[in-house]
Structure 1
Amino acid sequence: MRIANCFGWQYGLLRSKNSKDIIYLPESEIQQLSPQESEEEILTEIDEHLNQVAMLQAQLGILHSPQVKNNLAWQNLLERSRNPVILSL
């Protein structure tokens, strides 16, 4: 987030990508990353997401394996998720 005021630009930054806390810094305190640093950060984040996708795919593979599909508790859980219970007050 970039905000203009009479003293110049001010930037609103999140402390981390999972944070909701915004800190505001004047333009003078912001240092732009070099193209190499930007590329490195982007590639690192892509790798993290690809690893997460691979883990989720492995979990899906386990859930769809014959051993799990033939498990009665798993079948009951699936059936309940297909037919949600609606509670009225």
Structure 2
Amino acid sequence: MMAICWRVGGVLAVSRAFGYRLLKQYVVDPTIQAEKVDSSLEFLILASDGLWDVVSNEDVEEAAKTLMQKASQKGSADNITICYGV
């Protein structure tokens, strides 16, 4: 059975490996896009191409709304933030 190592090259955590010259062969530079965040923004979804390659914007938006509504219906009085990773 293979052990899972959450470090790039067994050395650094992924978030710390960006820009680390010796691990450049393992880490692809991220795509960076600036967006204005103001009161007109209903929600923000951060996702990789593993999601966007196979799920439409509309489906993602519907899923996010469903999760927010579910949390609200169950009595959440706090802000509702959803982060999920696979």
On whether the aligned pair clears a TM of 0.5, the verdict is no
Q: Which has the higher helix share?
A: 1
Please report the TM-score for the alignment, with normalisation by the length of structure 2.
0.27
Q: Which has the higher strand share?
A: 1
Please report the TM-score for the alignment, with normalisation by the length of structure 1.
0.26
Mark the structure with the bigger radius of gyration: 1
